[in-house]
Structure 1
Amino acid sequence: MAEPTVLQRPDRRRPEPLWHQAEMALRELIERGEWAAGTQIPNEDRLCDMLGISRITVRHALRNLEEAGLLRREHGRGTFVRSATVVAGVRGLTSFTEEMRTLALAPSTLLLEASRVPADSDMADALEIPLGDPVVCLKRLRLGNGMPIGIQTSHLPESRVPELFAQAEQVQSLYTWLKDRCDITPVKAKEVYRVGRVAAADAEAIQLPTGTPAFEVERIAYDARGPFEYALSTMRADRYEIRSTLYV
């Protein structure tokens, strides 16, 4: 069990709620690597002593960190720092890069393949373009803290992104590039999640055996002019979670 060398105690004179100050103090330990992935953190009683706050306040902070994907609780064992995990659910429309930064993970992208192809029926339907129109396809390995999270293949109408194929090697955050170079700003997206398996062609890059269960995610992203991206992703099930809150 890891005892931090320095832990900022909440200050009751500050305007921020105590639970928020505690959450930020614990998050800092994770972000600076003092609590590495897999580390068991002190129990609630110890955290109360260390932070000088009540158990209900500690639980509030821990729950927020768990919902953010930074911690995991194991019944009968304790609370541990998660490995790189993307938590999907009710959230704003963001790029993978922004999601990683929200979870205090260093995002990176490895371009596996760039191509120009005629739109097949699936691409044409999703992008609302004529069958056979040219489409730029980017197949990329997405990583958090250097660990593979998933493989994403984005399809974009070449008429809207004329420079993308030539500059594919330089693109890290696709949405940032689209905004800066093509005046494309996403306003909404539709996503479908399915249970699938890792394909043989992706196994080496995603570092899982062929046939391993994984999430398959289909996304159509829109800007003010209509659909601009049709993305198909295979996400590691051990590093990608889907959470929902249900109401009566």
Structure 2
Amino acid sequence: MPRQGGSIVTLVEPARGRGLAIWAQIAEILQDEITRGVVKPGEQLPPEAVLAARFRVNRHTLRRAVAALQEAGVVRVEQGRGTFVAEDVIDYALGQRIRLTENLRKLDRTPGSTFLRGVELPAPARIARALAMRAGKPVILLETLSFADGRPMSVGAHYFPKARFDGIIEDYRRVGSITKALAERGIDDYFRKVTRITAQMPDAADARLLQQARNQPILVTEAVNVDIAGTPIEFGHSRFSGPRVQFTVEN
């Protein structure tokens, strides 16, 4: 059967006289296809004209069906782009001990990460203040792309003082985890001192990496991690996919 925009487009004519409004029957059919995975989270439904022709109804009736699905949180409608199946949102906990892999496994998600790049650079003033060091002193920037169940979740920029963490790029590439890479440097435990959360629109690079539209917001965290003595060890600037992630702040 042909597919368009992630959905089967075979003709379906709702049953008239069934006692259920035509638009409600269309909503049922579309929701059933979404539930069965015919159209997957994040995929786009066919254009309005195609769906109206498929169900042999006018656009007004089709719009009522789509509006019902949107109200139920099954789909999202983006002005000028179309209708998309809503993402399965990750309830990501922010607390004193934030470990991405542990957090995702507690949610029965499969974690993953990819190395993007690692460089040495002079610490900008803002990052130097966060790390309690002089501006211009060298820091190591490690950029990563994190996944949950194979879907991009966040792009992270992690800054470490070079004097203490020279070689952490190689450690990360070998062990595939920042927590494990820190352990290689003698940091067996660390804590979140502060997290600042904002929302903004992604630039083209982040939208591409997170596989989301540029008119969908991302959640941005800026955070400082410290060792058990309270010494700053990492400044993190992470961009999370807005459609896929929501934060829960733990006390």
Q: What's the TM-score once normalised by structure 1's chain length?
A: 0.62
Aligned to 1:97: 101
Output the CA distance in 2 between the equivalents of 1:130 and 1:245. 32
Partners of 1:205 and 1:229 lie apart in 2 by 23
How far does the alpha carbon of each residue in 1:4-31 deviate from its partner, in whole angstroms, 9 at most, with x for none?
xxxxxxxxxxxxxxxxxxxxxxxxxxxx
Deviation larger for 181-190 or 220-229: 181-190
Q: Secondary structure at the match of 1:122?
A: helix
Aligned with 2:178 (options 169, 174, 185): 174
Matched, 1:236 2:241: yes
Q: Superposition pairs for residues 27-42 of structure 1, below 5 Å?
A: 39=35
Answer yes or no: is the 8 Å Cα contact 2:119–2:141 preserved in 1: yes
Among 189, 194, 199, the residue aligned to 1:185: 189
The corresponding residue for 1:107 is: 111
Aligned residues: 173
The 10-residue stretch of structure 1 (131-140 or 176-185) with the greater mean CA deviation from structure 2: 176-185
- Paired with 1:244 and 1:177, the residues of 2 have a C-alpha distance of 26
What secondary structure, in the 3-state scheme, does the structure 2 residue paired with 1:165 have? helix
TM superposition shift of 1:185: 1.9
Matched, 1:131 2:135: yes
Structure 1 residues 75 and 140: alpha-carbon distance in aligned structure 2, compared to 1, 3 A threshold: same
Q: Is the 8 A contact 1:84 1:147 kept in 2?
A: no
- What is the identity, as a one-letter code, of the residue corresponding to 1:240? V
Which of the numbers 114, 118, 121 marks the counterpart of 2:122? Answer: 118
The 1-side partners of 2:136 and 2:128 are apart by: 8
Residue 39 of structure 1 and its aligned partner are, at CA, apart by 4.5
| Residue pair 1:84, 1:144 contacting (<8 A) in 2 also | no
Query: Over the residues paired in the alignment, what is the CA RMSD in angstroms?
Result: 2.8
Instruction: Please state how far the C-alpha of 1:182 moved relative to its aligned partner.
Output: 2.8
Give the direction of change, closer, same or farther, for the CA distance of 1:165–1:244 in structure 2 (3 Å limit). closer
Alpha-carbon offset, residue 87 of structure 1: 2.5
Larger Rg belongs to? 2
Structure 2 residue 202 is the aligned partner of structure 1 residue 198: yes
CA distance in 2, matches of 1:240, 1:93: 18
**Deviation of the 1:106 alpha carbon:** 0.9
Q: Which runs of 5+ in 1 are unaligned?
A: 1-37, 41-73
Compared CA separation, residues 75 and 109, structure 1 to 2 (3 A): same
Question: Aligned residues: percent identity?
Answer: 22
User: Normalising to structure 2: TM-score of the pair?
Assistant: 0.61
Q: What is the CA distance between 1:75 and its match in structure 2?
A: 7.8
